[in-house]
Amino acid sequence: MADNDTKDPPPPYSSVTLDSPPPFVAYEQVVYNSKYDVTQKTVPYYVQKDPAQVAAIIVTQHNALHASSNKQVSCGHRTKCYGGLAGALLLLVLLGLAIWLGVYYRPKVHKDDGWDNGGFKSPNTCSNSSVPCDAIQACQQSNDETNCVRFGDGEVLQVKTAQDGRFLPVCYQGLDTNYANQICAQLGFRRSYASSPVKSTDSVALSLRLRTDSLIQGLVNVSLTCEDEQVVSLQCTDCGKQQTTSRIIGGSASKLGQWPWQVSLHFNRRHVCGGSLISPDFVVTAAHCFQGPMMNTGSWRVYVGAISQNNLQIFSNIKKIIVNENYNDRTNDNDIALLKLDKPVDFSDTVQPVCLPGFDQNFSETSECWTSGFGTTEEGGGHASTNLMGVTVNIIDSRVCNSSRVYNGAISKNMVCSGDLNGGRDSCQGDSGGPLMCKGDNERWYLVGITSWGAGCGERLKPGVYSKVTSLLPWIYSTMQQEKP
């Protein structure tokens, strides 16, 4: 979290130098460190920490095999014979080592869960009769039914049906708590928090039928009017509420309960990335935090409700790491991952979810926005911050951010820039995956971006770049629906 004032995409805000680093980590552009070499590239990648040790093992095994054999080998050309045998043994050792590394570092995923061994979705299989949003799950991963519900500004529920094919608001008449709970559970939440009627001037809406165990898209009919012109506003979580509001502008240690959705992701007992709690079971973070051996769920812990790395008390383990299948590690496009926790988190004054924005909810240069994290507090800093830091930032128009004087076309439709073009206020290494959040008109905080990449920290004309949550909402909701508890 910096508070100071290349067509090739600049490096993401990846893991910082730690006292005890992960065992297999390397980057490009080596910068000497007394503990280990640090390298930076577009995304972190992972290799054996000391490749020379691997070569030494191979040679030792080869020599040991020869030393242990006292028998003479009968062949006309002994030198050629030994050379051929040595070559064959070396080839076998290398093959065995490759197989061992492949098995040892293979991510722990289920064979039939629709995800391949890299943590990315495998091709989906659908029947020839599949129709999107007809409430009949005709695809292997139910993808034909997972992008049929969304929320507009003001949490207005919208549903797409096979009958119409458009997202339409749902009439409030007929909605009760059981119906609301069913809709939220379909989306991967455990239950609903609140529902209420709101006025709508839409000429076409959806009326509710008698509730069954079907998906919501199968429980509505197209209607020309709603009774009293009221449609459903639905909240699946009590989200985006701060327990304290005292802040110091310009980058400061956060108060307890100030950003209660902020999580600290630890790999092998050290902070590596940040994330945001969006429900009792799911955390949103950056895809570039999970590459190679970092896909091993058993090496991670998710700490919630903490504002100091010296006082980490509440943690969860990760049941599954789900990386966006369209993530591009060269351009950092679609830099988002979803973590499914092994058990639901208990909400409290210091542990709360952040709100997901509506698909049409806009935040601009005038919005009150902050970013937070445990990352370094200055560019090139060697250690993560002990305290959770927060800094106020400005949303920057994508046209400006994509101009030749800033990032020269590297900003995709799935990215949003935020910070200060004059420099001085920015996220930094170790903040990856953490939140860019903005306050809505209802005084709740919404997750607008996910810390992804940037050129340096707090440099002039080089603001932070974040994954744009509104563009990635369909992926978030469809993934939560597929992985619902």
Of 335, 420, 426, 431, which one is the catalytic site residue?
335
Q: How far apart are CA 265 and CA 193, in angstroms?
A: 27
**335 noted as active-site residue:** yes
254 contacts 242 by C-beta, under 8 angstroms: no
- How does DSSP assign 471-485, residue by residue? HHHHHHHHHHHHT--
What is the dihedral angle through the alpha carbons of 152, 156, 162, 165, rounded to the nearest 10 degrees? -40
Angle of the 51-67 helix axis to the 78-104 helix axis, nearest 10: 130
Q: What is the pLDDT of residue 458?
A: 81
- Collapse the DSSP code of 367 into the 3-class scheme (helix H, G, I; strand E, B; otherwise coil) and give the result: coil
Spans of the chain below 50 pLDDT: 4-11, 14-84, 98-118, 246-250
The tokens describing 36, both together, are: 């280990």
Tokens 């065992």 found at: 23
The tokens describing 38, both together, are: 């640090």
Tokens 């503990």 found at: 35
Q: How far is CA 332 from CA 117, 174, 248, 427, 465, in A?
A: 21, 45, 32, 16, 10
Q: What is the pLDDT of residue 252?
A: 62
With CA atoms as reference, report the closest residue to 262 among 252, 271, 275: 275
Q: How far apart are CA 188 and CA 210, in angstroms?
A: 22
The tokens describing 12, both together, are: 């993401």
Of 432, 452, 467, 478, which one is the catalytic site residue?
432
- Collapse the DSSP code of 119 into the 3-class scheme (helix H, G, I; strand E, B; otherwise coil) and give the result: coil
Of 3, 264, 271, 288, which one is the catalytic site residue?
288
**266 noted as active-site residue:** no
Q: What is the pLDDT of residue 16?
A: 42
The tokens describing 483, both together, are: 């992985």
Q: What is the pLDDT of residues 203-249, one digit of tens each?
A: 899 999 999 989 999 999 999 889 889 999 999 999 999 876 544 33
Residue 167 belongs to what H/E stretch?
Answer: strand 167-169
Q: What is the pLDDT of residue 82?
A: 40
Q: How far apart are the first and last CA of the chain?
A: 34
